[in-house]
Amino acid sequence: MAYDALFDSVFARMDPERIHERAFAAIRLGRPVSRLAYRVDPSPVEVMGIEFPHRFGLAAGFDKNARGVLGLLALGFGHVEIGTVTARPQPGNDRPRLFRLVDDRAIVNRMGFNNDGAAVVASRLHRLRGTAAGRRAVIGVNIGKTKVVPAERAAEDYVESARLLAPHADYLVVNVSSPNTPGLRDLQAVESLEPILAAVKGVADGSHGRRVPLVVKIAPDLADEDVDQVTDLVLELGLDGVSATNTTIARPAELLTSRDVVDAAGAGGLSGPILADRAVEVLRRIRDRAGTGLTVIGVGGVTDEADVRARIEAGADLVQGYTGFIYGGPKWPSRLAVAAR
């Protein structure tokens, strides 16, 4: 494919974050880039009371600040999950913080929730929702903890983001599973997670005038019994869903990339096809435990049409990708969207 040759000969030799910024700038132009996509006929599905054009969407991390939603939808994504957004703006970790493992079609990132902050992103979403296209868009908003906020005040921090962003979101996602904010994953322990989810649910349930569905995103590195406990907590609190899974801190022996290159990339979340098996295991485990009443979003290692079908067969109501988009190019979203119909 032409994009594969271009990626291997040009993009793979350039700084990953700079390429991301340039590609994203092109996507924000919208129409010229959308001509590269395939046509996707709608196949509407109702999930969490929301009508999605189809089941396949863009995972959080690509559009952190809600700057390119319409351009991304024009490429074929049925929904866009923006973020992760924190209550306060923050620059993220020092560069370099994004690395490719090309032989594995994988990425290591330690971005550190770099974003404009909840107030700025809320204002941007407000303007977007003021347009006809913006009102039609299905937008999830992924929120995380501000780095400088101590763990004991995490609930307040998440609530502040939820309060600002919920009025503009079709659904909210509480992200407690990124490996790039110190101590964040510790919040997945149910005794830490419960007060956060309960507090955010209070906002999502309608303190701003309407109810917004609420989802929690978990890591693939959780032990099976911890996945069960989180699922039970979600059911107990009456949340709408679980997003499974985020990136992994593991560096599996099965990686094709040389160990020197993997080690040089350093710490951070690993994404790509290597995650697929565990992500499906976690997805299936949640579905088996929760039954049909809970929404499950399948994400992590979604690379091709077969992956989309496998997630749906395993019980996913929605499927999301990100790393596959980086390697697959502008026609990738619409190809996978067809598989999700």
Quick check: 75 and 335 in contact, CB under 8 A?
Answer: no
Quick check: 147 and 185 in contact, CB under 8 A?
Answer: no
- Residue ranges of the domains in the chain? 1-338
Quick check: 127 and 69 in contact, CB under 8 A?
Answer: no
What is the phi/psi pair of residue 320, to 5°?
-130, 155
Residue ranges for the known binding site for substrate are: 64, 109-113, 175, 180, 246-247
Supply the residues annotated as catalytic. 178
Q: What are 66's two structure tokens?
A: 């809600």
Residue ranges for the known binding site are: 60-64, 84, 109-113, 142, 175, 180, 217, 245-247, 272, 301, 322-323
Q: How confident is the model at residue 24 (pLDDT cuts 50, 70, 90)?
A: confident
Strands (E), 62-203: 80-85, 98-101, 106-109, 139-143, 171-175
- Mean pLDDT to the nearest integer, 267-293: 98
Residue ranges for the known binding site for FMN are: 60-64, 84, 142, 175, 217, 245, 272, 301, 322-323
Does 96 sit behind a cis peptide bond, omega within 30 degrees of 0 on the bond before it?
yes
What's the pLDDT score for residue 10? 53
- CA dihedral sign of residues 32, 34, 35, 36: positive
For 76, 88, 141, 148, 291, the CA distances from 91, given in Å and listed in that order, are 30, 10, 19, 12, 40
Half-sphere exposure of 23 (CA within 13 A, CB side): 20
- Mean pLDDT to the nearest integer, 82-101: 97
Strands (E), 90-240: 98-101, 106-109, 139-143, 171-175, 214-218
Strands (E), the chain: 45-47, 50-52, 56-58, 80-85, 98-101, 106-109, 139-143, 171-175, 214-218, 241-244, 269-271, 295-299, 318-321
Q: Is the pLDDT of residue 204 over 80?
A: yes
DSSP secondary structure, 289-324, as one string: HHTTSSEEEEESS--SHHHHHHHHHHT-SEEEESHH
How far apart (Å, rounded) are the C-alpha atoms in residues 255 and 308? Answer: 22
Superfamily of domain 1-338 in CATH is Aldolase class I (3.20.20.70)
How far apart (Å, rounded) are the C-alpha atoms in residues 54 and 56? Answer: 6
pLDDT digits (tens, 9 = 90+) for 138-152: 999 999 999 999 999
For 251, 254, 317, the CA distances from 259, given in Å and listed in that order, are 9, 11, 36
pLDDT digits (tens, 9 = 90+) for 31-75: 556 566 667 787 899 999 999 999 999 999 999 999 999 999 999
Quick check: 102 and 172 in contact, CB under 8 A?
Answer: no
**Model-wide pTM > 0.75:** yes
pLDDT digits (tens, 9 = 90+) for 224-266: 999 999 999 999 999 999 999 999 999 999 999 999 999 999 9
